[in-house]
Amino acid sequence: AQKITQTQPGMFVQEKEAVTLDCTYDTSDQSYGLFWYKQPSSGEMIFLIYQGSYDEQNATEGRYSLNFQKARKSANLVISASQLGDSAMYFCAMREGNRTNAGKSTFGDGTTLTVKP
Amino acid sequence: EAQVTQNPRYLITVTGKKLTVTCSQNMNHEYMSWYRQDPGLGLRQIYYSMNVEVTDKGDVPEGYKVSRKEKRNFPLILESPSPNQTSLYFCASGWGNEQFFGPGTRLTVL
**Do A76 and A92 contact (CB within 8 A), yes or no?**
no
Indicate the pairing of strand B19-25 with strand B105-109: unpaired
What is the average pLDDT across A54-80?
A: 95
Q: List CB contacts (< 8 A) between A101 and chain B.
A: 50
pLDDT of res. B27: 93
Structure confidence at residue B80 (pLDDT): 97
Which run of H or of E encompasses B21?
A: strand B19-25
B59 CB neighbours in chain A (<8 A) are 104, 106
Higher pLDDT, B49 or B2: B49
Across B34-49, average pLDDT: 92
Cβ atoms A21, A111 nearer than 8 A: yes
Count of residues in chain A? 117
Which of B20, B100, B29, B24 minimizes the C-alpha distance to B66?
B20
Mean local confidence (pLDDT), A1-29: 95
Query: Which whole number is the average pLDDT over B4-19?
Result: 97
Q: For residue B40, list chain A residues with Cβ-Cβ distance below 8 A.
A: 109
Amino acid of residue A5: T
Per-residue pLDDT for A101 more than 80?
no
**Per-residue confidence band for A1, with pLDDT thresholds at 50, 70 and 90:** confident
Region B30-43: mean pLDDT is: 91
Residue A97: the pLDDT is 86
pLDDT-based confidence at residue A100 (cuts at 50, 70, 90): confident
pLDDT at A64: 97
Which amino acid type is present at position B49? S
Asked if B45 lies within 8 A of A104 by C-beta distance, the reply is: yes
Query: Who among B42, B99, B104 is closest to A47 (CB)?
Result: B99
Contacts of the segment B16-21: beta carbons below 8 A, 24+ positions apart: B16/B80, B16/B81, B16/B82, B17/B81, B18/B77, B18/B78, B18/B79, B18/B80, B18/B81, B19/B77, B19/B78, B19/B81, B19/B107, B20/B75, B20/B76, B20/B77, B20/B78, B21/B75, B21/B76, B21/B78, B21/B89, B21/B91, B21/B105, B21/B107
Q: What pLDDT is attached to residue A117? A: 95
* Statement: residue B1 has pLDDT above 90: no
